[in-house]
Amino acid sequence: MEWKHTLKENRLRVTPARMAVLELLEKKDAPMDIQAILAELSASSIPCDQVTVYRMMETFVEKGMVKQVNFEDGKFRYEIEGEHHHHLVCEQCGSIQAIHDPCLAVSETEVKQKYNFQITRHHLEFFGLCQSCANL
Amino acid sequence: MEWKHTLKENRLRVTPARMAVLELLEKKDAPMDIQAILAELSASSIPCDQVTVYRMMETFVEKGMVKQVNFEDGKFRYEIEGEHHHHLVCEQCGSIQAIHDPCLAVSETEVKQKYNFQITRHHLEFFGLCQSCANL
DNA sequence: CTGATTGCAAACATTTTGCATGCTG
DNA sequence: CAGCATGCAAAATGTTTGCAATCAG
């Protein structure tokens, strides 16, 4: 009902596929790619075409409901737009964890003054080994 | 001759295309995508197939001579591997500028302790408006 | 001369577009 | 019932692979 409301607020129609995808993304705390979303939908017996998922993502990103993120493997992932955060990407197993702490102090003012560049946003990802892979 | 030496060090053969691409990437201070590299080669009348450029990039990245970078537009760019730095990406004109200052203090130790994640590297990109676009 | 490098064709993966059908409001 | 949303087919884009011809060492 949370999402039903959000969809209506954005003048979008409430469909089973849309509800399912939004709930899916919300449950997972890591960005999902199109294939992963499709697999989950299929597992839940919710019929939905690949193209529809692409179109949903486009719509949701436009409306600011979902954020498109981009790691190093040539495809996009999507996550619910929320509080700004960063990611820990395991180079071994590919698992992705969100970290919600600042953990960094980006001096946007300094960049602005030094390079005359007006920053609107930034991306920061950490690559390395997750706990399980480090212990192998 | 700098590059000739580097290629030999890495047991790679010195070919016109390889020399041209390395000099090209060195001259530009921003990462280039495959099409841009091809265009420059073509402009310099150096015959080279697209596939060859992809393969060169793969080889150079493996050898640590070149770094693959990934912004938000679904394709890879390549730059000479050097001192760690970050990028300013203009959302208006797409221009990319490298910034070589730290400008950020990432607490890798804190992340390691808090999330049990062993960081090997990170990516940081700033998106916004470059000087020219901000003045339009 | 030997094997690394290249070119061409074709395959692949991801994402986008066109159009007719169907469902939401 | 009007128009948004979906499915299917097909195209566009970026990247990879197979194989034979070529060039560097």
Per-residue tens of pLDDT for chain B, all 136 residues: 689 999 999 999 999 999 999 999 999 989 999 999 999 999 999 999 999 999 999 999 999 999 999 998 999 999 999 988 999 999 888 899 998 876 566 677 888 888 999 998 888 899 999 999 998 8
Q: Which of residues 19-48 of A touch strand C (CB under 7 A)?
A: 33-35
Compare CB distances from A128 to B114, B120, B125 and report the shortest one's residue: B120
The model's pTM is: 0.90
B120 → closest Cβ in A108, A120, A127? A127
Q: Which residues of A touch B57 (CB under 8 A)?
A: none
A94: phi > 0 → left, psi -120 to 50 → alpha, else beta; which?
left
Q: Which residues of A touch B (CB under 8 A)?
A: 68, 70-72, 74-76, 88, 90-91, 97, 99, 101, 103-108, 110-111, 114-131, 134
Is the alpha carbon torsion for B130, B27, B75, B39 positive or negative?
positive
Q: In one letter, which amino acid is A117?
A: F
Place of tokens 């091809």: B38
